[in-house]
């Protein structure tokens, strides 16, 4: 006899007609899930094969971000290998959460891309430190992209930007903006130092830049008509 699902008060609960079951796995995803939930040699071979794939994606992601981290040689190898190893561990722990809403490889590669960010942040904290409080205001004209011919105007604009940073940004926005823009701290290192995530830092930088632009427009340093419409 079929069992009847009941609510917390013991009454028969109506089935939700909108609740759908997970889609069937594609053959490749099903093969991965079966192997990674097995034991013995099959499991070990699947882990070794997956680690190789994760390592390839890790180095591809590191190459994409090279301009931001500048790592090479053994440093690059260490970050890539650790990212792949940690991603493999996370995947094998969470394999039961894979529902087949995407291909297994798509789901798995998200783990290694996340771990690349984590490992870069840890690497910079460990080897170079994170100068969150460094305020090298002399760099600001260079950051604004001024050449020798525009040096005077750039310094005037830099002064206005500095005033805006001090007057319109919150302490949190100021700390992140100064670290990223003035100190040149890699985004991953800021994320690791603050114990936050990339989206939160991106949002903070977006809000800070928006506030500064509005301030510079109000003071006549930027033309409001050139602002992109959202």
Q: How confident is the model at residue 1 (pLDDT cuts 50, 70, 90)?
A: very low
Rounded CA-CA distance 216/223 in Å is 9
Distance CA 31, CA 60 (A): 25
Q: Could you confirm whether domain 137-226 is CATH 1.10.10.10?
A: yes
Domain ranges of the chain: 27-127, 137-226
Q: How confident is the model at residue 32 (pLDDT cuts 50, 70, 90)?
A: very high
- pLDDT at residue 12 in the model: 45
Please determine, for residue 17, whether its predicted confidence score (pLDDT) is greater than 60.
no
Between 65-74, 123-132, 174-183, 202-211, the lowest mean confidence (pLDDT) is in 123-132
Query: 36: pLDDT confidence band, cut at 50, 70 and 90?
Result: very high
Rounded to the nearest integer, the mean pLDDT of the chain is 79
Q: Are 157 and 189 in contact (CB under 8 A)?
A: no
Question: For residue 136, is pLDDT > 50?
Answer: yes
What is residue 180's DSSP assignment? I
Element of type H or E holding 79: helix 73-94
| Angle ∠(188,191,193) on CA atoms, nearest 5 | 110
Provide the 8-state DSSP code for 21: P
Helix axes 27-36, 40-64, angle to 10 degrees: 120
CATH class of 27-127: mainly alpha
Q: Which of 2-11, 157-166, 167-176, 214-223 has the highest mean pLDDT?
A: 167-176
Q: Is 176 in contact with 187 (CB distance < 8 Å)?
A: no
Mean pLDDT value across residues 195-215: 87
Model pLDDT, residue 20: 58
Q: 12: which strand partners?
A: 6
Average pLDDT over residues 108-117: 90
If one compares 17 and 22, the residue with the highest pLDDT of the two is 22
In the DSSP assignment, the letter for residue 156 is H
């Amino acid at each position: 006899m079929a069992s009847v699902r009941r609510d917390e008060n013991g009454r028969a609960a109506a089935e939700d007609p909108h609740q759908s079951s997970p889609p069937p796995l594609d053959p490749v995803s099903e093969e991965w899930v079966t192997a990674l939930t097995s034991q013995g040699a099959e499991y070990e071979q699947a882990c070794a094969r997956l680690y190789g794939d994760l390592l390839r994606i890790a180095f591809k992601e590191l190459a994409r971000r090279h301009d931001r981290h500048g790592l090479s040689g053994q440093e690059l190898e260490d970050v890539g290998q650790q990212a792949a190893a940690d991603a493999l561990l996370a995947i094998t722990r969470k394999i039961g959460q894979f529902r087949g809403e995407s291909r297994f490889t798509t789901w798995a590669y998200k783990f290694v891309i996340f771990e690349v960010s984590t490992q870069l942040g840890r690497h910079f904290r460990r080897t170079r430190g994170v100068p969150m409080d460094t305020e090298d205001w002399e760099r600001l004209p260079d950051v604004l992209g001024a050449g020798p011919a525009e040096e005077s105007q750039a310094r005037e604009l830099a002064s206005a930007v500095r005033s805006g940073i001090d007057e319109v940004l919150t302490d949190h926005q100021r700390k992140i903006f100064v670290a990223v823009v003035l100190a040149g701290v890699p985004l991953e290192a800021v994320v690791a130092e603050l114990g936050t995530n990339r989206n939160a830092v991106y949002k903070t930088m977006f809000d800070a830049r928006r506030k500064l632009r509005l301030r510079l427009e109000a003071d006549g340093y930027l033309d409001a008509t050139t602002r992109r419409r959202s």
